[in-house]
A and B are shown apart, each in its own frame.
Chain A
């Protein structure tokens, strides 16, 4: 009822002509972009993608990523890697200063590495803690990073917002100041943060360090950004329609079709691990590979995703790496089509051959029960929850009894259902520009070196050797082959199967041009944007 009313209301207004009736192509100097965003993080800098969206506006990184996966210069103009691939040498620009006046030099970048790995950024730790050994300034413009083992994805990893370089002078101010006002060399500075309302960014008039893939050099065209937090999707989309915002994030699925006609829409398919079903391979019925395969065959995941998302979000069958990630294995995505007969055969073979009065399979008197806890409203959207409910219904026909447990944000992040005896399937994604995400998700989970990110608890020497081999080679074809084999192995053994890609979107009003989404995480870039009349 509400959704229909909302749609009707917005359509009504759209029908009686938008606020900006005719817009020409003439560039207007200055202006402030009003941007409507969904979530407000606790700090502007940190290891959560919501923080990277904001910090990308004020911090530059060493390198930037092109849409095709090529890494291009940014604060680093050049780089080389040693024969044993353990020493990376970066040449930095010599003409860049942080907005607090501190010069950008090799020592400053080295300080940032130390800060991140010392607990300043948990996501940096997830990527580099196993590889990073040390870093040092050889001279003012030469930075040497020493690794404990070869790590070829380093450059694409460094292109993410988490790796934005901050002024060491500013870092020394402590958490309180860095949380609200990180200082970088970027195109904007944080002028004010009214919590619950907006962050105001001001143009850095001395900006001279745009990445090689930016559309222009020098300071931003606009004078600033008014970054509004608009959590309700009706309000957010409505504010764009009424002209109160110039650009918004996350177009609601129900408005996607209309938005595509009225505005410039951009869709970003997040690389990394897609939203997938990761099976618990050490306890419960899914210890048996055949039962995992049976579950994968037992529902028409593609049809369910296409129905629920109305085409706004694509199906992703690969459970370990998502389309849009370099070295993605597309063949894997087609494995396990909907085949209930196959599922039944596999269950019979695995000994789940009896059926109880309610139609559920049993084995030695035990019911085939699958527990799926999921972060309702935090990790999964309402649509994501609907996908799970549809799967629950469909696999029932084959005899799986699925129990869905919606878990609150504080419970889930507090570690509930993170142990092997608490769940049979984990549902979640992980944003990453590289297939090296496999190393984060499949590094062994051992008592002496636990890996909580290994959500399948799957320790497989063969798999790890493939991943480490891929991480350790700089030969592109060899790397592609090894990553592809790793994904194949995960699929063959049904360790994880995919559902859909984590997808974000942007809708831009006709008065604003050249807003773009950067490739590593889909952060909106406003440095090149300008108004027209």
Chain B
């Protein structure tokens, strides 16, 4: 109802007194989130049934058998598994506070180095997938919402189907059709543009379906607003109205979802990484969980939590940019 007030020229951003406490509050809650993520990971990994020293020894030989105390003693001593669990927890947190994520039990490498090696590929994939999802969502929503009841039905039907596509299935289909069948893209994924297309589509299409559903609903509501009618009365073209006025209102749910999506894309990238043989933290995380490689699992969980925190902060800022009313509240 108040939409027309902010319609033509955005209000100047006002930097109020409330900004500093807000930033501090944000930081405090970010630290709390990271602390909780680290603690939950530690206890989940340390307290799962099964002996960690046995697991390490068995994985180093490819066997699954009971081990004697004599065999296990050196490994327990090396990794401090003999210490009381709270001592191990304190050691772990102490390491984190001094900026060390530890050394992988299995790979013998510092966790920081492992993550630094893997994260660029993952971020490249997820950011590209998110961009793909946005492009698909915007084009599709602008093109099909409220055109005619038939186009509208097709538009939302496609979104529903896309949102429900399992990434594994979609990835294999894209691979078989476009890489193996038509030969348009390489089979093996990588960082070059041509090798990124199919992996990004595999993640981006279902996400576009999801974001499209939310955006379409907001788009429909915005089209009913009085400012749309007034813009049309001023002689603006239909496309102009949709792109310049309605979209700004309809984009908010999509932006909210993007924060969530980027986090879930990072943790869900493992399927795509496996199908297209891409490096990335998803695959490292799965193999670390399988071998209960606590420093690696903890490091990756903390990094993913950090990404969530940062992205949600950015989403907040993006909100204020798109809807200046939020900045003044």
Contact = CB atoms under 8 A, between A and B. Distances in A.
Nearest to A123: B61
A496 to B, nearest CB: 15
Contact of A415 (B58, B173, B180): B58
A290 B227 CA distance: 87
Interface stretch (A1-9, A344-352, A354-362, A504-512): A1-9
- Sorting the interface of chain A by its residue count into under 10, 10 to 19, 20 to 34 or 35 or more gives 35 or more
B55 interface: yes
Nearest to A10: B180
Contacts of B55: 410, 413-415
A418 B51 CA distance: 12
Interface stretch (A207-215, A235-243, A388-396): A235-243
A317 to B, nearest CB: 23
Nearest to A39: B287
B109 interface: yes
Contacts of B183: 13, 242
A413 B63 CA distance: 7
B75 to A, nearest CB: 9
Contacts of A244: 186-188
Interface string A425-456: 00010100000000000000000001011010
Contact of A414 (B51, B68, B187, B280): B51
B59 A413 contact: yes
Contacts of B224: none
Contacts, number: 175
A12 B55 CA distance: 44
B172 A43 contact: no
A265 interface: no
Question: Taking each of B49, B176, B187, B279, which has the highest tally of chain A beta carbons within 10 Å of its own beta carbon?
Answer: B187
Given A231-B274, A239-B188, A49 B62 contact: yes
Question: Taking each of A8, A409, A430, which has the highest tally of chain B beta carbons within 10 Å of its own beta carbon?
Answer: A409
Interface in B92-150: 103-104, 106-109, 114, 117-118, 121
Interface in A263-286: none
B277 A413 contact: no
Interface string A219-243: 0000000001111101110110110
B176 A232 contact: no
Contacts of A176: 103, 108-109
Interface residues of B, number: 58
Given A46-B60, A235-B175, A241-B180, A450 B52 contact: no
B114 A195 contact: yes
A49 B114 CA distance: 23
Nearest to A420: B66
B182 to A, nearest CB: 9
Contacts of B172: 2, 5-6, 234
Contacts of B180: 9-10, 12-13, 238, 241-242
Given A228-B188, A235-B276, A409-B290, 19 more contacts: A8-B176, A9-B180, A9-B181, A12-B180, A42-B59, A42-B107, A42-B287, A43-B107, A47-B62, A48-B62, A195-B114, A230-B277, A235-B175, A238-B176, A238-B187, A378-B290, A410-B50, A410-B55, A414-B55
22 contacts: A2-B172, A5-B172, A5-B176, A10-B180, A12-B180, A13-B180, A42-B104, A42-B108, A47-B62, A119-B74, A123-B61, A195-B117, A196-B284, A197-B278, A232-B277, A234-B175, A238-B180, A244-B188, A379-B64, A413-B59, A415-B55, A415-B66
